[in-house]
């Protein structure tokens, strides 16, 4: 019979790992709803107004939390990477995504954005001067080719404006997430995203005031709820659960749940947007997910992969 002193550490480690996986899954599921919610929101709210409003709401909540917890401002050496991350994550990514879903379905966007973890890993490799195994580069190239092939097939042989916007969103988000990942060495992940959003307030607040329609009562309830979702959950709270999950359960293990994100997006797009999920979409998404899994396992060291 094993003594409690020997069995307890193993049990505690298993419970901690499960908690990390649960938090990671919650964060991933929240991010999976971003595209369907954005598509609902842009049906009644201009993409520029939506971007400004979601960033301003999340920024005000972040400012309140930082004040309540009495968090000191970041050191000046971190201001530049925070500012770049702010422009990428809080301004360009949501704007490009909102513009894109005006012309492409959320499920289509789910396949294209499925390449985001590979793009983030690629930027991280450039920043950290890593030398990953050749299989990493092969998987990355195959993943990118699959996404472009999917977009060309769906667009009748050409890349649509929506696809170009989504690919731009992938590029800027990869830069923002890679920089954010480096910043977590200096402060907790929730604090990184909170300071990023606070730094955006001088841009997002005036933009929201000037771009939202004068008669807000004309906006239906459903787009309002979608706006609140992308502001409070996609832009802010989702990062709390995701970063905490990776911190508790380990980056290498918890980040693997992100492989389910395209399929969460498909399910929510079918439920809330009434989209038809074809076998072709599922097939391409599964192939992209496979390349993400291979690339994430063949890097020399662990790094957070992109949530959104």
- Would you list the domain boundaries of the chain? 13-297
Q: Which two tokens stand for residue 161?
A: 């404006």
Tell me, what's the pLDDT at 11?
A: 67
Distance CA 110, CA 34 (A): 10
Q: Which two tokens stand for residue 160?
A: 């649509």
Residue 3 C-alpha from the chain's centroid = 44
Tell me, what's the pLDDT at 128?
A: 72
Q: Which two tokens stand for residue 21?
A: 């996986």
Tens-binned pLDDT, residue by residue, of the chain (308 aa) = 444 444 455 666 668 778 888 988 999 999 999 999 999 999 999 999 999 999 999 999 999 999 999 999 999 999 999 999 999 999 999 999 999 999 999 999 999 998 888 888 888 888 877 777 888 889 888 988 999 999 998 888 888 999 999 999 999 998 988 888 788 888 888 899 999 999 999 999 999 999 998 888 899 999 999 999 999 999 999 988 888 887 787 665 676 787 889 999 999 999 999 999 999 999 999 999 998 888 777 754 444 556 66
Q: Which two tokens stand for residue 255?
A: 């980040």
Tell me, what's the pLDDT at 73?
A: 95
- Dihedral sign (CA 97, 98, 100, 104): positive
- Characterise 160 by phi-psi region: left (phi > 0), alpha (psi -120 to 50), beta (else): beta
Question: CA angle 27-30-203, nearest 5°?
Answer: 100
Question: CA angle 271-274-280, nearest 5°?
Answer: 95
Q: What is the pLDDT of residues 75-84, one digit of tens each?
A: 999 999 999 9
């Amino acid at each position: 019979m094993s003594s409690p002193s020997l069995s307890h550490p193993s049990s505690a480690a298993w419970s901690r790992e499960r908690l990390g996986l649960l938090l990671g899954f919650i964060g991933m599921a929240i991010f999976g709803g971003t595209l369907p919610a954005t598509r609902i929101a842009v049906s009644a709210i201009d993409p520029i107004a939506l971007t400004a409003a979601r960033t301003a709401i999340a920024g005000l909540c972040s400012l309140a939390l930082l004040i309540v917890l009495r968090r000191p401002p970041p050191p000046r050496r971190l201001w530049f990477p925070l500012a770049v991350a702010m422009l990428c994550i809080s301004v360009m990514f949501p704007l490009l995504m909102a513009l894109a879903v005006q012309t492409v379905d959320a499920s289509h966007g789910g396949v294209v954005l499925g390449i985001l973890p590979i793009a983030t890993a690629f930027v991280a490799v450039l920043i950290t001067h890593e030398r990953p195994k050749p299989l990493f580069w092969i998987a990355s190239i195959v993943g990118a080719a699959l996404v472009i092939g999917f977009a060309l097939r769906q667009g009748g042989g050409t890349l649509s404006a929506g696809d170009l916007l989504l690919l731009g969103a992938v590029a800027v988000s990869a830069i923002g997430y890679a920089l954010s990942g480096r910043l977590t060495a200096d402060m907790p992940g929730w604090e990184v995203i909170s300071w990023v959003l606070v730094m955006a307030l001088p841009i997002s607040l005036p933009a929201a005031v000037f771009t939202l329609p004068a008669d807000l009562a004309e906006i239906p309830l459903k787009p309002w709820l979608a706006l609140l979702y992308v502001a409070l959950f996609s832009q802010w709270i989702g990062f709390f659960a995701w970063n905490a999950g990776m911190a508790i359960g380990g980056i290498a293990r918890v980040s693997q749940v992100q492989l389910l994100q395209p399929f969460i997006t498909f399910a929510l797009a079918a439920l809330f947007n009434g989209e038809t999920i074809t076998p072709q979409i599922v097939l391409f998404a599964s192939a992209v997910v496979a390349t993400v899994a291979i690339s994430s396992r063949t890097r020399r060291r662990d790094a957070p992969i992109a949530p959104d």
